[in-house]
Amino acid sequence: MENCSLPRLTALIAFVLLAAGSTATAAGGPNILILLADNLGYGDIGVYGGGIIRGAPTPRIDQLAAEGMRFTNFNVEPTCTPARSALLTGRYAIRSGTTVATPVPGIPQGLAPWEVTLAETLGDAGYDTALFGKWHLGASVGRLPTDQGFDEWWGFPNSTGIVNFPRSVGFDRSRMPSFNLMEGTAAGGAKVAGQYNYERRPFIEETIEQKSIEYLKARAGKDEPFFLMVSWSLVHHPSLPHPDFDGKSGAGRFADAMMEHDYRVGRVLDALTETGLADDTLVIYASDNGPDRAEYPWIGDTGPFRGYLGTVHEGSIRTPMMIRWPGRIERGSVTNEIVAIHDLYPTICALTDAKVPADRAIDGLDQRALILGESKSSARESVLFFKSSVLMALKWKEFKIFLRGENPDPDEREYHDLWTPRIFHLNVDPKERNDITHTGHLWLMGIINQELLPFVDTVRKHGLIPRGGDRPEPGEVDIPFYSQEMLERTLERGDQ
């Protein structure tokens, strides 16, 4: 009798130990850690052709890429606010009224409370949620992270560029509010935690790192899974490094800041390992958009591409992205399949049994099969790119089709109407210089229709949230070469 019971007892003990050591198993999904860089270019990281070549080695981020899957065709939106909106809602920012953000009081803006953020849907699925760092999706009560699903937040609601305002010639402090750091909880609300100014700027990354590590240590041993978004301030201008990194690269201030960024990422990843959470945590590292031109030429690098923040050329909308999940995602794998920042929302929801809202248009697609190695193909063939209320371009397979013109050079910020769409073959011409529209490629106009009409139909059915609005209203998107009347007639014909 005793001999028969021993194997059963041993198996029971093993099961209990396994269950206690695996948050992912207990919760039905992994912990989620998103490390989001600010304005970091495709060519800034070593594994993407930068690193030591740029005077700033990035060994820790390179190591992370080697431990998981690296993406070479990861597509974002052209500036910080729309990209972050897309990540947290799975929706094109034009649907959410978040294509533009201006740090000026009195202008309605920010993510509407009507939106269901990734933090909210993961919270409903039993996850503890926290954000440390940049928000840039609203600075008013009701639109802060603690109002939008994050249980805890420390950081700043606007962009880092605001620290330069008081240093500009003619600045009138009486006409502008002070820009603050904030902290708080969903239960107690967010409160001012000091000023965000030029003097404080070099120390922001250190605080984001410390807060993140403290959070991970507090989560160790807890049954409840977590979603931690580490929203770095670097390498956004002014790219002021911490004093410990000032002059460290020997290649200038931007390279110093890049080295600090790599170090801080490594520190958070080390804490994840030291707390025993690494094996049960899905880690995503990405940049929200390409480099800004503000401190040119001491800025990020776009790699083989052309274009800077605010444009829809590849240098702005194609950024580094890598995902690690030990034992689930193949180490050292690389994919050039089209993936969009919008896809992270439904993919994470699918991996965690969180629910994607069914009452609205979701533009992201579930990419589990690709990242888990079950398929070599992406769930998407195309992605749309907007600037304010205008559909500027779309990417389909290896082609990029511009419906409106723009100048992507560092000293120009100019947009113009086109006589015909401009088409580029990105594999042959990654800098988008050689228009092939009239070399037998006008057939791609048919592809535009096929990719465009489903989007227009969802706008017709679900509406758009106006900038600063509370919920969707009937709205239109400016689509060059297509009148609204023509689109309506085409859709009505398809409905019959």
Kindly list the catalytic residues.
80, 136
5-9 LR contacts (CB < 8 Å, sep 24+): none
Give the dihedral of Cα atoms 212, 127, 189, 216; nearest 10 deg.
Answer: -20
Q: In a 3-state reduction of DSSP, which class is residue 35?
A: strand
Q: In a 3-state reduction of DSSP, which class is residue 180?
A: strand
CB-count exposure of residue 281 (10 Å: 0-12, 13-18, 19+): buried
Token pair 């919920």 is at which residue?
Answer: 471
- Closest by CA position to 228, among listed 26, 36, 22: 36
Distance, in Å, from the CA atom of 229 to the CA atom of 118, rounded to the nearest integer, reads: 10
Residue 296 φ/ψ region, left for φ over 0, alpha for ψ in the -120 to 50 degree band, beta for the rest: beta
List of residues 6+ apart from 366 with CB closer than 8 A: 343, 346, 347, 350, 379
Element (H, E) at 391: strand 390-396
First to last CA, the chain: 74
> Which is it for the CA torsion 11, 12, 15, 16, positive or negative?
negative
In the chain, helix, strand, coil percent, each to 5? 35, 20, 45
